[in-house]
């Protein structure tokens, strides 16, 4: 059975979470995880000038940008629906096979839409921990769950029945931090 938010065992995840010592992750920890677990490469965030048009983007915050382009990592990262979307995009718009010019937004978006790379962009107000702004070029549910884990949760919300806590537990399971 496929794991879904409605059918996963929150009580079992809660019990396992209590045994872990997980809090919000520092930027250094996030950097290490992205580079080791996902073979991500840090990129210059100035390449993404279009971010300044996003109302949630704050140019005064530290901005970090990573690229995942290892095909074996991406193959394991994308879920079935995301892979179908990538294939439909390639059927409609063709496959970009040339080396990507990362400064070209059209090429970046095409490559991300066909699933051959994934950009992750996030910000930090204090230079230590994640701020709310997180963006990906190319949808990737697993990365979004990973970042929910990175952000952590307020300990006062760690109560069964709290929907934020349930989502956090689901993210821990979906990102592989808790096995149930």
Query: Are the C-beta atoms of 109 and 98 separated by less than 8 Å?
Result: no
| 47-73 pLDDT per residue, tens | 999 999 999 999 999 999 999 999 999
- pLDDT category at 5 given cuts 50, 70, 90 is confident
Instruction: Using the predicted structure, report yes or no on whether residue 1 has a pLDDT greater than 60.
Output: no
97-114: average pLDDT: 92
As a whole-number percent, the residues of the chain with pLDDT over 90 amount to: 87
Statement: the pTM of the whole predicted model exceeds 0.85:
yes
Query: Are the C-beta atoms of 9 and 180 separated by less than 8 Å?
Result: yes
Query: Are the C-beta atoms of 49 and 66 separated by less than 8 Å?
Result: no
| Look-up of token digits 């209590």 | 18
| 107-158 pLDDT per residue, tens | 999 999 999 999 999 999 999 999 988 999 988 999 999 999 999 999 999 9
162-176: average pLDDT: 96
pLDDT score, position 43:
96
pLDDT score, position 21:
82
Burial string for 93-105 (b: 16+ CB within 10 Å, else e) reads: eeebeeebebeee
151-175: average pLDDT: 96
């Amino acid at each position: 059975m496929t794991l879904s938010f409605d059918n996963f065992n929150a009580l079992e995840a809660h019990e396992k979470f209590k045994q872990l010592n997980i809090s919000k992750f520092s930027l250094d920890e996030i950097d290490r995880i992205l580079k080791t677990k996902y073979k991500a490469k840090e990129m210059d965030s100035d390449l993404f000038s279009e971010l300044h048009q996003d109302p949630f983007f704050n140019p005064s915050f530290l901005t970090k940008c990573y690229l995942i382009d290892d095909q074996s990592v991406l193959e394991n990262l994308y879920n079935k629906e995301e892979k179908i979307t990538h294939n439909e995009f390639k059927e409609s718009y063709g496959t970009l096979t040339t080396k990507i010019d990362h400064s070209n937004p059209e090429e970046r978006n095409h490559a991300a839409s066909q699933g051959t790379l994934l950009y992750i962009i996030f910000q930090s107000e204090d230079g230590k921990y994640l701020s709310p702004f997180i963006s990906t070029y190319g949808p990737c549910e697993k990365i979004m769950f990973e970042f929910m884990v990175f952000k952590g949760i307020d300990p006062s919300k760690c109560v069964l029945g709290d929907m934020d806590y349930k989502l956090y537990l689901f993210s821990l399971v979906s990102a592989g931090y808790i096995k149930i």
